[in-house]
Structure 1
Amino acid sequence: MIIVTGAAGFIGSNIVAGLNARGERDILVVDDLSDGRKCLNLADLDFSDYLEYDDLLARVEAGDELGDVTAVFHQGACSDTTEWDGRYVMDRNYRYSKSLHDWCVARGVPFIYASSASVYGMGPDFVEQRAAERPLNMYAFSKFAFDQYVRAQSAKTNSQVAGLRYFNVYGPREQHKGKMASVAWHFSRQIEEGGECRLFEGSDGYDDGGQRRDFIYVGDCVDVNLWLLDSGVSGIFNCGTGRSQTFNDVADAVTGWYGRGEKRYIEFPESLVGRYQSFTQADVNALREAGYGRAFATVDEGVRRYLDWLAERGAADATHHSE
């Protein structure tokens, strides 16, 4: 049995879909369904059992056996970057991850978990080294703290432990995230509703819409997760394309798919001055050196796949997800 936490979330549900595509059905999906709309991310997927997030933690900390567990993909977390209740975030992200890590290590179960590129703060370096890490909010700090724990434990850990620092992920099954969904999703909705994509004016020396991010298609994130499972490689790795592209590129890909739409530049918010990442770009050398060789989708390729998927699902389904 494979356990996926955060299974009703964005990346977690895509991992379940990726496992299903391999013929895997014996999957324990774990999540907090207080927001019941997230269940739609699992409605077309196959799994063998469901467990609430808190129930899994209680069983893990009690030392319970959960059956023949062959791997754990730990994607669940409080991902709200505006949450400043540090005790809550550390309990939800750090303590939970630590307990699950220790349970897996004690049993030799591969443990693959979600870290975050937010540990790098404002950059400008995005390489898996301590000198580049400077988290700026509680979410980022909780991810950074767990990475620190993994590093400290690695010398005495014999089983696989691998973390992925996700960059700007976009793609299917993210609609429940609302304002936290990707710009690709928001641009698509804006074209549908008003015929124009709204981008920020220039900032930090960048032209209008010219700020750059490392946008990675969620299918590529799934491929990296499954490759880690197959390879048995341990370590903390960036999960980005290694190629930054502009917000204009995303808007152009969206309007190109629709065959219509304009770009409109809006004033850069005063509240974001000095707090906005105008540039991110993953250093993927460590991942490549570990043996991952597949190419990553460009924004144009990934956005096309994403909007094709949304079109196949139909507007009604997309609307249910985005309420």
Structure 2
Amino acid sequence: MIIVTGGAGFIGSNLVRALNDRGEKDIVLVDHLANGRKMLNLADLEIADYFDKSEFVQKFETPGFLKNIKAVFHQGACSATTEWDGRFVMENNYDYSKRLLDGCIARNAPFLYASSASVYGSGRHGFRVDRRCEHPINMYAYSKFQFDQYVRRLLPETSIPIVGFRYFNVYGPREQHKGAMSSTAYHFNRQVIEQKKARLFEGSDGMADGEQRRDFIHVGDVVDVNLWFWDHPERRGIYNVGTGKAETFNAVAQAVIDWHGEGVIEYIPFPEHLKGAYQSYTQADISGLREAGYEKEFLTVKQGVAKYLDWLNADLANKL
């Protein structure tokens, strides 16, 4: 049996799809479907059972509940970087993760979980998996950082596979339910379809218009990293999951425009509420991944966006 938390979400549902492609169907999916539209991510997936997140963690702490667990892929979290209710965020992201990990240790089950590149804050100290680089600037980032710290303390005392993935800017299929938190590729696609324009922020932090840079990674690559570490249980620890190459928002917008064969870029004022809490530059140091033995090359923005829009616009067409 495999457990996937956040299984109706973006990365979680892609992970379940990949597990199904491997022939895995004995999957327990955990999520919170207050947003019922997330079920659209599940309609083509095969699972054995579903639990709401609150019900599941209570049952998971009960001895004898769910035996012979092959892996727990913990993708569930409150992912809103704009959420400042610290008690709520820590309960959902930190406490919940601790309870799951403790249950995995008791069951001798592999635990693979989603951390976040947001732990690096502004990034002025670098993007290495190193305490000196970690300066979270919002509650979401702090909750992810603090759980990484908990994992660091436990790793020398445990033997089960425990792997944390610091995701950089992930984009790709099955993210449409995220609304404003969906990737820029998703939003640019809608804007070009509806307005023939891709709207980007003006320059910030000394960068020219649209030249803010992020490490954009296709969700298929993220899933592949997850499964590789599951296949290599001797590899433990915390790893950056990005391409290792920062690309501009202009490049993302241009890739969308190129796919459609029409459209222009329009720059809009940088929002006041994001000043001081925005990452203008991210680039993963993936030396840890390479040292662990993961050798696959990642999709570039041009490759990944084209692949994504092939799927996204076919999906939109099917719903018309």
The reply to whether TM is greater than 0.5 is yes
Cα deviation digits, residues 216-239 of structure 1 (max 9, x gap)? 000000000000100111100001
| 8 Å CA contact 1:121, 1:135 repeated in 2 | yes
| 8 Å CA contact 1:170, 1:215 repeated in 2 | yes
- One-letter code aligned to 1:99: R
Gap regions ≥5 residues in structure 2: none
| C-alpha distance in structure 2 between counterparts of 1:26 and 1:139, whole Å | 31
Alignment correspondent of 1:131: 132
Q: Tell which deviates more after alignment, 11-20 or 197-206.
A: 197-206
Q: Tell me the secondary structure at the aligned position of residue 271 of structure 1.
A: helix
- CA, structure 1 residues 188+222, in 2 after alignment: closer, same or farther (shift >3 Å)? same
- One-letter code aligned to 1:102: D
| C-alpha distance in structure 2 between counterparts of 1:272 and 1:76, whole Å | 25
| C-alpha distance in structure 1 between counterparts of 2:261 and 2:64, whole Å | 55
| C-alpha distance in structure 2 between counterparts of 1:144 and 1:172, whole Å | 27
**Aligned ranges for residues 35-54 of structure 1 at < 5 Å?**
35-54=35-54
| Root-mean-square deviation over aligned CA pairs | 1.1
| C-alpha distance in structure 2 between counterparts of 1:273 and 1:73, whole Å | 34
| 8 Å CA contact 1:38, 1:176 repeated in 2 | yes
Alignment correspondent of 2:82: 82
TM-score scaled to structure 2, two decimals?
0.97
Gap regions ≥5 residues in structure 1: none
Q: Tell me the secondary structure at the aligned position of residue 113 of structure 1.
A: strand
Work out whether 1:294 is the aligned partner of 2:292. Answer: no
| C-alpha distance in structure 2 between counterparts of 1:88 and 1:267, whole Å | 31
Alignment correspondent of 2:165: 164
- One-letter code aligned to 1:204: D
Alignment correspondent of 2:119: 119
C-alpha displacement of 1:108: 1.2
- CA, structure 1 residues 269+126, in 2 after alignment: closer, same or farther (shift >3 Å)? same
- CA, structure 1 residues 86+274, in 2 after alignment: closer, same or farther (shift >3 Å)? closer
- One-letter code aligned to 2:174: R
Cα deviation digits, residues 45-96 of structure 1 (max 9, x gap)? 1111111111111112233421321100000011111111111111111111
Alignment correspondent of 1:183: 184
- One-letter code aligned to 2:245: R
- One-letter code aligned to 1:56: F
Cα deviation digits, residues 231-272 of structure 1 (max 9, x gap)? 111100001000000001000100000000000111222332
| C-alpha distance in structure 1 between counterparts of 2:157 and 2:176, whole Å | 40
Alignment correspondent of 1:278: 280
Q: Tell me the secondary structure at the aligned position of residue 206 of structure 2.
A: coil
| C-alpha distance in structure 1 between counterparts of 2:231 and 2:286, whole Å | 19
Aligned-residue identity in percent: 60
Aligned length: 318
Cα deviation digits, residues 9-42 of structure 1 (max 9, x gap)? 0000000011011111111111001111101101
